[in-house]
Structure 1
Amino acid sequence: MSGVSSDYYSRIEQQRGPVPSEQILAAIAHGLHLTLEERDHLFRLAGHGTPQRAVRGDHINAGLMRVFDRLPDTPAQIENVLGETLRQTPLAVALLGDETAYTGLSRARVFRWFTSASARERLPPEDHAHHSRTLVARLAEVFAKTGRSSPAGSLVDELSARSPEFAALWAEHPVLGPYCEPKRLLHPEVGAIEVHGQTLLDPDQYQALLIFTAVPGTESHEKLQLLSVIGAL
């Protein structure tokens, strides 16, 4: 939740007391699972302008959040269009690490992949080339829709300057392959796991809920169950 009392929220509605900051209002909106329209109304009540509805999509749609809240024992996470992880279940943290702790450009998975060697530790080396191409193709898709002046454009410019590998792939104009292909992961405690990522899209918010599963009866399925006991590292 937001950590804000109902009395404080009532004072905002009644326009009593000091004007809360935009950061507090954003926390309330997240904690109460407000829709964008409800969030904007809250900001107006408090005397602030409404936040820009950017393609980045950090404000999680209320419906998507309700689905996420019903998956406490499943590896699942919500991402925006740039591949920035907004929320993770505990089992997703155990499987993938805490992807919500990054700041700046490092919030984007594609940026970490091409600028930090540690970002590649959980994928087998033989899968790196394919994963690199997939990440570039996804960024290219967003870039085509939003343009150079968007956050996607900033990522492209920065990565082109920092990573020769990225620049070479970008020049090839890669396209996305199979939508739900399996992914092999190397977990530091349980070893290799093969998971399938199912995606629930929220087109209006440019967000997606990713749910990771393993085929029942397989070793990977047993390892996911073990991770639920081990917890996050």
Structure 2
Amino acid sequence: MAREELARFLRERRAGLRPHDLGLPARVSRTPGLRREEVADVAHMSVDYYTRLEQARGPRPSPRVLDGLVRALRLNQAERSHLFRLAGTPVPPGAQARRRVRPHVVDMLHRMPETAAIVTDAAYGVVAWNPLAERLLGDGLGPDANLARRRFLGGPGVPESSSAEEFGHIAVARLRRAADRYPRDPALAALLRELNGSEEFRQIWETRPVHAPGHRTKTLEHPVGRLRLNCDVLLVPEDDQEVVMITADPGSPSARALAALAKT
């Protein structure tokens, strides 16, 4: 059944493309879509092998073959994941951590005016945030902001937090996972070299900590006062990103302080 579904997906995707989608000259044809030989050429495989895949007769394709099909059929990230699942193959990450944020995720941040929210990539780079997060977390947010770097190497505009020690272990656990998933990511490699200048980072790294995203509370020292905050994480698995939502218990002094910050 899986072979038939994969074959159907390939046929339907090929039929929906035109030669100009692959940068090929236009041609007159009675059959809509690309020819099999055009897909096979761009995917760097034989026409016979590709034909067998479309006819549900081929062997299980390797990740290299599947990524060739991703390239030839112009699949986006979600379609790539779907293709790998149809082939019965675990979806490998890309070569580098994704640092662009999907527009609908950014829109969601701005629909939560009394929730401070940030988006972090696999290496704890802050890739998006809403206005309340900027007012809460200080001037340290910016194009090159990274929570792991600020935690271990310090930085401007970072309010003091009671959960700094716990976050250090959480950050290292996530960075270890990122290093395994993106061994050829130059930006991640540069960050790890930088963090190795911290003895605390090196010590935690050697313990191989394991932490999963979940609900946590922390106390933050802020110019408006001491805030007791809740941190919850929403995963964006297709991009290996996390949306961190920072709130306060309803009716609490911290909630009133957040509401006041949101109006400034």
TM-score normalized by the length of structure 2: 0.57
Q: Which amino acid aligns with 1:132?
A: G
In the alignment, what sits opposite 1:29?
A: none
In the alignment, what sits opposite 1:192?
A: 226
- The 1-side partners of 2:184 and 2:206 are apart by 15
Structure 1: gaps of 5 or more residues:
1-35, 39-52
Task: Tell me by how many angstroms 1:121 deviates.
Answer: 4.0
- The 1-side partners of 2:135 and 2:185 are apart by 36
Q: Indicate yes or no: 2:193 matched with 1:152.
A: no
- The 2-side partners of 1:79 and 1:159 are apart by 17
| Residue of 194, 200, 205 corresponding to 1:165 | 200
SS of 1:94's partner is: helix
Greater RCO structure (CA 8 Å; 6+ sep): 1
SS of 2:160's partner is: coil
Alpha carbons 1:113, 1:119 under 8 Å: kept: no
Task: Tell me by how many angstroms 1:96 deviates.
Answer: 0.9
Alpha carbons 1:195, 1:213 under 8 Å: kept: yes
- The 1-side partners of 2:158 and 2:103 are apart by 33
Map 1:18-167 to 2 at 5 A.
Answer: 37=76, 55-103=96-144, 107-116=145-154, 118=156, 121-124=159-162, 127-147=163-183, 149-160=185-196, 162-167=197-202
Alpha carbons 2:118, 2:244 under 8 Å: kept: yes
Alpha carbons 1:55, 1:81 under 8 Å: kept: no
In the alignment, what sits opposite 2:216?
A: 181
Write the deviation string for residues 91-145 of structure 1: whole angstroms up to 9, x where unpaired: 1111112444253xxx321112211265764213xx3322222221221222222
SS of 2:214's partner is: coil
Alpha carbons 1:73, 1:89 under 8 Å: kept: no
Q: Indicate yes or no: 2:262 matched with 1:228.
A: yes
Structure 2: gaps of 5 or more residues:
1-74, 78-93
Alpha carbons 1:85, 1:100 under 8 Å: kept: yes
| Higher Rg of the two aligned structures | 2
Task: Tell me by how many angstroms 1:69 deviates.
Answer: 3.5
Question: Residues 61 and 121 from structure 1, CA distance in 2 versus in 1: closer, same or farther, beyond 3 angstroms?
Answer: closer
In the alignment, what sits opposite 1:47?
A: none
In the alignment, what sits opposite 1:30?
A: none
